[in-house]
Every structure is written in structure tokens, then in C-alpha cells.
Amino acid sequence: MDNQNMNKKITKFDLVRAYWMWNFFSHANYNYERLQATGFVQHLAPIIKKLYGDRPDEYKECIKRHMQFFNTEPYFGGVINGLVIAMEEDKANGAPITGDMISSIKTGLMGPFAGVGDTIWQGTLNPIFLAFGVTLASSGNLFGPAIYAVLMLLSLWGLGYFMFMRGYKLGKIGIQELMQGNLLNRILVAASCMGAITLGALSANFVKLSAPVVINIGESSINVQQKILDTLMPQLLSLILVLGTYWLLKKKRMSATKSMIILVVIAIIGGLLGIF
């Protein structure tokens, strides 16, 4: 290998283009056999050509390497993409990095970063932004859905870009230090706590269930909701409904569709009988 072939440099333009290609095509050909693998190769295609275009055998090997099964959260997990680009660049320039090393790093990191990323988006930021949008929309403000969409896009693209570029800068050693430390666990715990608090607040505001049952004793009337349930705990029935739904989903492993059907049936029966 001559010195010219050992001087392959990835530019900032290459990284930015790769990020946006990953951003829009990570799930473009999502399938059960390889999941995000084709999207991964798609966003790396210009970089692979730049690094190995004059070495056909290594070019084919690189494509085959990244066509293996891959799946992670695409934004927070984009740090893996940046890391892979840095390793491929070093490998193309003669560093003692093998294809198996790169594949092992991808496989080892995709699970942990997927867990953290999914917790951040689905369990934390999405409910928070959704609460803003739903609150505005429920009051008749047409900007509610737009605000939700803008907040989600800005946070997704912003953090995704940061993690992608950080992965490239950290390189192999930096990622290993991150995984060996306790940072990911702290992020996961903090995101889980914030997500639980947010979901609790949303449940208290939007889940409403009451029992307008009146018990007549002689000339006296007792409103079950006001005189009994609210005395024990305000919104007690709403809390029971939320915890019951959690029990169905988490403990009984019931699908969301079946749980929804059960809730609808209970609501219809309770409404017809005048219980709820």
C-alpha cells in the first residue's frame, strides 16, 4: 500500500452529509432480517467509497461488514455511527484495526445506547413535549400540535447531531472509557425518574374517572364520589385506573390493543349502569 493510499481524510462535510443521510434513511428499508443494516450502509456509502474506492477487495469487505444485523436508537445511538466512521478512517490509513473489531464494537454498543436513547425519547422528552402540545390543543390553541412537532424535531436533530459528531471525536478509546464508567447508568436512571414524574403528572391531569352514585338512606343522600372516595383520596378512581392499566401492560404482558378494549368495555358497562 503506497503512501498516497494511506492518506485518507474524512472532512466535516463528509460527516455532516453522513449524519443527514442516517437521519432520514436509518429506517428506510427496516426489515426483520437485518433491521437498520441497509440504512447504515446507505449513510456510509460516500465515506466507504472515499476510503476504499481504489481498493476493490476492501471496498466489498467493508460493505459486507456493515450489512450485518444492526439496530439501535438512531439519535442517541448515532454515537456508534461516528465511532465506526473514525475506526474505518483509521483502518483505511493503516491502523491495526480489523473488520471484526469494528463489527464487535457495533454489536456491543447498539444495545446499551438503544436502551438509553429509547428511555430519553419515549419515556422522557416525548411525554413532556406532548404535554405542552396537548395542553394547548385542549384549550383550542391550533399551535399545540405544531409546538409539539417543532420541539421534537429540534431535540431529535440537535442531540442526534451532537452524539454523531461526538462519536467521531471520541474514537475507540473514548467510547470504551464511557462504557467502563457509570455515566450511561446515571443517564438512564435520571431519564427514567423524569419520565415517571412526567407520566404521573399527565395521568393526574388527563385521566378522569368518577362514580356519580348516590346512596339514599331514609331522607339522607350520600354522594359516593364526594362523601366517600374524595374523602379517602382525591381522584382515587383515576389512580386505580392508571395502576390497573399498568398492571395489565407490565405484569400481565397484555398488548396495548387488548388493554384498550378492556378499558372501553368497562367504560361502556359502567356508563350504562350509572356507576362511572
State residue 191's pLDDT score.
55
Q: What residue has cell string 368497562? A: 266
- Which residues fall within 8 angstroms of residue 181, CB to CB, at 6 or more apart? none
Cell numbers describing residue 206: 388527563
Q: By C-alpha distance, which of 24, 59, 60 is closest to 42?
A: 24
- Cα 202 to chain centroid distance, Å, stands at 19
State residue 136's pLDDT score.
84
Q: Evaluate whether 248 touches 259 at the Cβ level (below 8 Å).
A: yes
Cell numbers describing residue 243: 395502576
State residue 272's pLDDT score.
85
Dist CA 254 CA 29 (whole Å): 29
pLDDT in tens, the chain (276 residues): 444 556 888 999 999 999 999 999 998 888 888 899 999 999 999 999 999 989 999 999 999 999 999 999 999 899 999 989 998 998 898 888 888 888 888 888 888 888 788 878 877 788 888 888 888 888 888 888 898 889 989 998 999 999 999 889 887 565 556 555 565 566 556 656 766 776 677 677 778 888 887 777 767 777 777 777 777 888 888 888 888 988 888 888 888 888 889 988 988 988 888 787
Cell numbers describing residue 233: 383520596
Dist CA 27 CA 30 (whole Å): 5
Q: Evaluate whether 124 touches 202 at the Cβ level (below 8 Å).
A: no
- Cα 86 to chain centroid distance, Å, stands at 24
